Structure 1
Amino acid sequence: MAEKERFLFGRGEKLTDNVPYKGSFGEGDPPYNLQEQVERVDEMLEKLINEISETPKDALADGKAVAALILHPQYVARSGFPDDLLSEFSLRLIGSKPLKNRPKAGRGSDNEDGIASTVLFVAGAGEDFKRLKRSLPNITEGSNLGDDIIKIENLESLKPSDRILGSLDKKSNTLEVIVHFDSAIDVGWEGDFQKYAKKSKIKLDMARSYQSRGLLFLSAEGSEESVKELAKFSFVRAIRKMPVLRTVSRPQMLRNTGMSRISIPVEKALDESFKVAIFDGGLPGNHPFGLWAKNIEPSGSFKIGAPLPYFLDHGQAVTSALLFGSVKAGSLDRPYAEIDHYRVLGDKINDSSLYEVMLYVDNILSQTSYPLISFSIGPDEVAGDDEVTAWTSMLDDHLGDGDILAAVAVGNDGTSSWPQNRIQVPSDSVNALAVGATDSSQKGWSRAPYSSIGPGRSPGLVKPDLVAFGGSSKESFKFIFPGPTIAEDSGTSFATPSVVRLAAGLRAYFGAALTTPAIRSLLVHSADSSGHPIEEVGWGIVNNDIRKITACADGEVKVLFTGKLEPGKVLRAPIPLPEGKLAGNISIKATFCYTCTTDPHTPGEYTRAGLDVKFRPHKEKFNKAQKKKDPRFPATDSFFGRHTKSNEQELRTDAHKWDTVRSASVKKRGTSLLEPVFDIHYIAREPGNSDSPRRAPKLNYALVVTIQAKQIPDLYEKVQERYKELVAIEPKIQIPIAVSV
């Protein structure tokens, strides 16, 4: 081992360069010829137009009906969007969702279960659809309209029953009503919708609503019959029972004399330059965290109510977990940062309080700027594949810029049957870390049975992102309570703040040298799955030792790349290796993380940013199919999944391109590597546009690369000698020998 400790290198972005974009895949032969397709679409339009004519006029938002246009699976790529068709006939895309579809012909027609496709919700007046029908005979082969007509697998009206999700009580229901609504376009019919709701005997609470891109989420009350009436309104996307908040457990007090030998620190937090936010049950007046934690009471304008003992106990436990982790006998480590604990639970919380709590959290996040946030609460609702909830939308809206790292508990229903054991909202947020729990903090750990499992939605399939010790019947999670006394419990509620504690430690030791995306990447990059299924543990259990996350062993080098990616451009990132021939096997691990704007009204295309990453391991090796060898584009090899697939359908199924976290590793013979690089193509998209948007924002990203070469013990020094631009990121103060969570 070297005398001086080796810490990961920063400024990897100084090694990067832009290269031209190369490569694309075609859509293949059309599944239908134009003549037969025109006949099919004509029949669909005939039925659709008749159904629109039978719809009450006051149920049409601004006179417009909504049709479901199902794309043939061959055209799920952004370039397959039928924008010429919609534009020509004044049809407006107001949303979409993924679905499995078995087409009549072409790709997927031989698959009984169907393959991934998309249904577009398009709005238009009855006359617009009639004009399309009249124009069908005049559409010519090879024209833009002809190409777009081929893409249609089905076109049909939306029935009221399609908009009602789940069962309802006959007499009275607290409801969540989701409406397609763009605040810049749709204000003209907002009053008409309220009148229609009143006519339908639905009581809308317009004051308790959340507006996200393309969707308006509303709280309401009504009977089953009134819901059926409201579901006739054309721009209603979904109506369902309002989800309730998850229940929280009350930690049990321990009488264990062996745990009485605990010494609470008397120093202030290690880094007082930032604070961490917790949203939970609050802190009692006698809590033992006065040096580091502040309880913030809810605003009177939100119906949270007075504190309740079991909510306060849960809040204390979560706060203790973030300050100290699971406590053990002896002197506790000094907390890394101070905490603002927002009490969002109280005695007025009931089955209709979901929006009260959500809107209070939204209000706080809109007025503050915390780098780290911990959520152990949320709706008692599993993530779905084809709808995005208000909570998830709200959270992703706040996290999209990449300045905040939020960790969200995945829930404690892991022992239920599928799909009730799936991760709970809002841990399906693509811009947050979803955290599950393990049953032990020692080797031989497994997912705690109660910890909810993935996958998440697509994009965002790998959920949970991480797992951490959360306690179990064989090894409980322990907290400091007033006295001081010890309490114990188990749950993802406590694993989550433990991960945030680790993130706070990285920020406290390394300061501004580690951006928020960099901290997220390092946590994922250093996680270990220990062979457990990805749907149970995500990328793996967090590494509790900050030194191991950031330091390099013999024969190892870690490099951090951060910065902004330009839309449509390709950034070439070299993988730093010594010059000359490399002995033995070389292991390369890479983790990408970014955050981005999201579109809840198009959940199948939820993220507006994607990365197409190509790995080129040897600069002098080329694909045999290349007629002319271009030295700028050596052969690619697999790294992040099956990126060599030939069509968008398969990429969509693999769910790689549009995921905000990507992590993988390969092992290569040293002789097979020569100036290896990653080519990183940032693909921007927006709903309803087959081309890249002109004004897409730059993308904040972080990439961590670890190279291991057992036969080159001085790998770190050789890389440092060759790449003068790289600078070691050293801690501001010395890291203790062992840091436990």
Structure 2
Amino acid sequence: MAGQRNFLLGHGERLVERVTPASGGTTPELPYTAEEARQRLLPQVRTAVETFDSLPAEACPSGKTVGLVTLHPQWIAKSYHPADFLRDNGLSYIGSRGAKVTPEKWTRQGEPVELETTELFVSGQRESFSHLVERLESPDAFPEGSPLQRVEAFRAPAALDKQRGVTSLPHSSSLFEVGLHIPSVDRDAIVRSFQRWARVCGASADFGRSIPVSGLIFMPVAAHAEELDELSRFSFLRVIRPMPKLRTLHPMERSLPVGALPPIEVPDEPVVDSSIRMAIFDGGLPSNGPMSPWAQSLDVPGVGAAMEEGTDHGHMVTSAALFGSLTPGEAAPRPFNSVDHYRILDDVEDDPYALYTALNRIRDVLEEKNYDFVNLSLGPELPIEDDEVHPWTAVLDEYLSHGQTFMTVAAGNNGNHDWASGNARVQVPSDCVNALAVGSANSRLKNWDRAGYSAIGPGRSPGLVKPDVLSFGGTQYEPFIFLPSNGTDAPLSAIGTSFAAPATLRMAAGIRAHFGGHIKPLGLRALLVHCAERGDMPVEEAGWGRVPDQLDAFVICPANSVRVLYQGAIEPGQTMRMPIPLPEDVKTGNVEISATYCINSPTDSRSPSTYTASAIEPVFRPHAEKFSNEDSVHPKTDSFFRSSDFLPENDLRKGAHKWETTKHRTLTKRASSLLRPVFDVKYHSRIEQLVGIPTEKVEYALVITLTSSRDVDIYNKVVRTYSGRLEILQPQVEIPITVQP
């Protein structure tokens, strides 16, 4: 790059200090009196108990059943969770899901309207529910202030509550996916009871292929459609749906005929950083292909013979991870790292269990070996659902929650399907909150758009911004270009999110190779989101924007700008002050502040609407000497991360933005209105709902870019002002940095 290279600054966490937040907040008014709540809920619980009593003993393991408690929508915060009330009545929380309800009364002005709320799955002995009826029959059993006053409704789950997409099925035997609640205390009894119950119903549950994850277990079940209602009577059955297919080779992701292309020169150099460990799970690589110096194909245990289409797809995915999209007639760039390509697909035609087989193969590898980078360009052929988390998503999010691995997932090629029905939404497992979901942009040029086939958002809340980013994935007019599979033919071309995802992973690995181990996976994720080019695309289509395909966009600060990376951890309940490194002598013109926060979070697949267990809430304080009033302890706040930019009104009301794992926004302020600006960041946890998991500190990454409209020396001023704390992140290896045209 011509002239001075102003490299990314690091160690922003050295500026961070702990602060004591000002106390505040009042307890809202309860919608019902204790007597009103008792009279409302008594007939509902009676009706539910009648349903529970009608269940066969075989459907109630250890004499237990499951009810649904609907919380009043004004009382769904974690601090109002009725754990003590449930325990006092012999009941246990085992999961939750989102719902909509129009409350009978509320504490606001006007008539109640439909709002988002939470339904709690609660389990207990059938006698415990009967005893609750007896308590409700006593007028003095519940004093004012009882958690009962926060409950809107109670009922027994019906078969339709548990069934998804099972209408209009053929009468022949089909394969279904069943999810069971398995609280740890009753796990073995529930599993044994369901196996017996399935046989009673004429079905067959395959526990050999089951997948347990955070209080749930998923398994294939062979059954006839007419048996599903009876099967659904099993008290701990949460969901049953047709077994999704494994999306592997979409027709558009096969090589496209585009005529003869000039050959591409293959580099003869070793990888830039041999310490980087990257895994790709796909269909295998051709033997003795041109990428063999940098990529090895490993067959997972038990995999069958390879299929040609699988190795073609695996070759193109791996080429994208090593080189990005190539230019015919030009030399391929030197790879940043080597790749372990695991072949998890075989030639078993129409294998109904392929989904479970592939996930178990992936999990076995990840549990055995530690990888810095992982790419998935396959998964269930299933758009995400708002009220359930699929086992693919749950398993991967649990693995990624430790924050040691950076994973990209292809968003899916179903963007041309019907939007209104949700069939165009991102596909499982790109709804992982701890992975980066990648859709396709239609061009590498400055004027770009979402490729029409690329899946759209929104994701589930939390995790609403999906796909996270777009990357070039090709179109028929501008396809993605790969090395030929045998080293002698013309280059290959194709289109699809399967190639956008590994190309994005390549950029993350390139940043890691450039700076060495200074940047953690969370820092890489924050940089990719922070530097994405948003353009005019709506967030539902482009997420945070298109990822640049040149390293200089990430490692070099733009003109009149300085970029700082913070990487640290926050203890539970702490509030940390994170200074925005703006020197006090930057006083004229405007200052554009762009900030991106990322965290990894433990997840709970039992509770889709409260899926993330950790959150950080940044509060912006722009001026150190301006206070709301004379009694204020901390400077006055101003809005920064506005959730209204991408959240619907109902999610705003329930505070869902707080639980997002990625936050990003750009704000322009007059330089004169800023004096030692800071973010005060509080760590929230709802981990107490995750039975058996202790509350732990959460790691974060923050990227801040300051751009001055007047001060061309802002970078050097920051370096001088914060000398000894902030450091220029020097390249660890020499990688050519280019300037895009």
Letter in 1 for 2:583: P
Rounded Cα–Cα distance in structure 1 between residues aligned with 2:276 and 2:541:
33
1:603 pairs with 2:608: yes
Please, which of 483, 495, 498 is the counterpart of residue 493 of structure 1?
Answer: 498
Q: Following TM superposition, by how much is the alpha carbon of 1:5 offset from its aligned partner in structure 2, in angstroms? A: 1.7
1:34 pairs with 2:37: no
Q: Following TM superposition, by how much is the alpha carbon of 1:253 offset from its aligned partner in structure 2, in angstroms? A: 5.8
Q: Following TM superposition, by how much is the alpha carbon of 1:215 offset from its aligned partner in structure 2, in angstroms? A: 0.3
Rounded Cα–Cα distance in structure 1 between residues aligned with 2:692 and 2:274:
41
1:197 pairs with 2:202: no
Give the conservation status (yes or no) of the 8 Å contact 2:180–2:239.
yes
Letter in 2 for 1:269: V
Give the conservation status (yes or no) of the 8 Å contact 1:76–1:649.
no
Q: CA, structure 1 residues 311+739, in 2 after alignment: closer, same or farther (shift >3 Å)? A: farther
1:351 pairs with 2:360: no
Superposition map of 1:696-707 within 5 A: 696-707=695-706
Letter in 1 for 2:21: Y
Which residue of structure 1 lines up, in the alignment, with residue 298 of structure 2?
Answer: 296
Which residue of structure 2 lines up, in the alignment, with residue 226 of structure 1?
Answer: 227
Give the conservation status (yes or no) of the 8 Å contact 1:243–1:354.
yes
- Runs (5+) with no aligned partner, structure 2: none
Q: CA, structure 1 residues 657+338, in 2 after alignment: closer, same or farther (shift >3 Å)? A: same
Q: CA, structure 1 residues 43+367, in 2 after alignment: closer, same or farther (shift >3 Å)? A: same
Superposition map of 1:312-351 within 5 A: 312-328=311-327, 329-349=329-349, 350-351=351-352
Which residue of structure 1 lines up, in the alignment, with residue 64 of structure 2?
Answer: 64
SS of equivalent to 1:73:
coil
Letter in 2 for 1:376: S
RMSD: 2.4
Q: Following TM superposition, by how much is the alpha carbon of 1:176 offset from its aligned partner in structure 2, in angstroms? A: 0.7
Rounded Cα–Cα distance in structure 2 between residues aligned with 1:253 and 1:458:
37
Give the conservation status (yes or no) of the 8 Å contact 2:248–2:379.
no
Which residue of structure 1 lines up, in the alignment, with residue 576 of structure 2?
Answer: 571
Which residue of structure 2 lines up, in the alignment, with residue 124 of structure 1?
Answer: 124
Give the conservation status (yes or no) of the 8 Å contact 1:10–1:727.
yes
1:280 pairs with 2:285: no
Q: Following TM superposition, by how much is the alpha carbon of 1:479 offset from its aligned partner in structure 2, in angstroms? A: 0.9
Superposition map of 1:145-294 within 5 A: 146-167=145-166, 168-248=169-249, 249=251, 251-252=254-255, 254=257, 256-257=259-260, 259-294=261-296
CA-to-aligned-CA distance 1:422-458 (integer Å, 9 cap, x gap): 1000000000000000111111110000001000001
Which residue of structure 2 lines up, in the alignment, with residue 434 of structure 1?
Answer: 437
Which residue of structure 2 lines up, in the alignment, with residue 729 of structure 1?
Answer: 729
Q: Following TM superposition, by how much is the alpha carbon of 1:29 offset from its aligned partner in structure 2, in angstroms? A: 1.9
Rounded Cα–Cα distance in structure 1 between residues aligned with 2:693 and 2:336:
43
Aligned-residue sequence identity (percent) comes to 38
CA-to-aligned-CA distance 1:553-602 (integer Å, 9 cap, x gap): 33211111101111110010000011245111001011011112100011
Superposition map of 1:270-669 within 5 A: 270-300=272-302, 304-328=303-327, 329-349=329-349, 350-418=351-419, 419-481=422-484, 482=486, 483-580=488-585, 582-623=587-628, 626=629, 628-630=631-633, 633-642=634-643, 651=652, 655-669=656-670
CA-to-aligned-CA distance 1:244-298 (integer Å, 9 cap, x gap): 01141463365655x3242110111111112211111111113110110000113
Give the conservation status (yes or no) of the 8 Å contact 2:210–2:219.
yes
Q: Following TM superposition, by how much is the alpha carbon of 1:535 offset from its aligned partner in structure 2, in angstroms? A: 0.5
Q: CA, structure 1 residues 675+607, in 2 after alignment: closer, same or farther (shift >3 Å)? A: same
Q: CA, structure 1 residues 126+141, in 2 after alignment: closer, same or farther (shift >3 Å)? A: closer
TM-score relative to the length of structure 1 = 0.94
CA-to-aligned-CA distance 1:191-219 (integer Å, 9 cap, x gap): 22211111112211111011111100111
Q: Following TM superposition, by how much is the alpha carbon of 1:653 offset from its aligned partner in structure 2, in angstroms? A: 5.0
SS of equivalent to 1:262:
coil
Give the conservation status (yes or no) of the 8 Å contact 2:511–2:554.
no
Give the conservation status (yes or no) of the 8 Å contact 1:407–1:500.
yes
SS of equivalent to 2:62:
coil
Rounded Cα–Cα distance in structure 1 between residues aligned with 2:354 and 2:721:
60
Q: Following TM superposition, by how much is the alpha carbon of 1:132 offset from its aligned partner in structure 2, in angstroms? A: 2.0
Letter in 1 for 2:734: Q
SS of equivalent to 1:263:
coil
Q: Following TM superposition, by how much is the alpha carbon of 1:139 offset from its aligned partner in structure 2, in angstroms? A: 4.6
Q: CA, structure 1 residues 501+650, in 2 after alignment: closer, same or farther (shift >3 Å)? A: closer
Superposition map of 1:43-122 within 5 A: 43-106=43-106, 114-122=114-122
1:134 pairs with 2:134: yes
Q: CA, structure 1 residues 254+238, in 2 after alignment: closer, same or farther (shift >3 Å)? A: closer
Letter in 2 for 1:738: T
Letter in 2 for 1:446: D
SS of equivalent to 2:210:
strand
The farther-off stretch of 30-39 and 656-665 is: 30-39
Which residue of structure 1 lines up, in the alignment, with residue 719 of structure 2?
Answer: 720
Q: Following TM superposition, by how much is the alpha carbon of 1:493 offset from its aligned partner in structure 2, in angstroms? A: 0.6
Rounded Cα–Cα distance in structure 2 between residues aligned with 1:629 and 1:683:
23
Q: Following TM superposition, by how much is the alpha carbon of 1:549 offset from its aligned partner in structure 2, in angstroms? A: 1.1
The farther-off stretch of 150-159 and 653-662 is: 653-662
Q: How many residues align?
A: 728
Give the conservation status (yes or no) of the 8 Å contact 2:439–2:469.
yes
The farther-off stretch of 727-736 and 338-347 is: 727-736
The farther-off stretch of 287-296 and 181-190 is: 181-190
Give the conservation status (yes or no) of the 8 Å contact 2:209–2:356.
yes
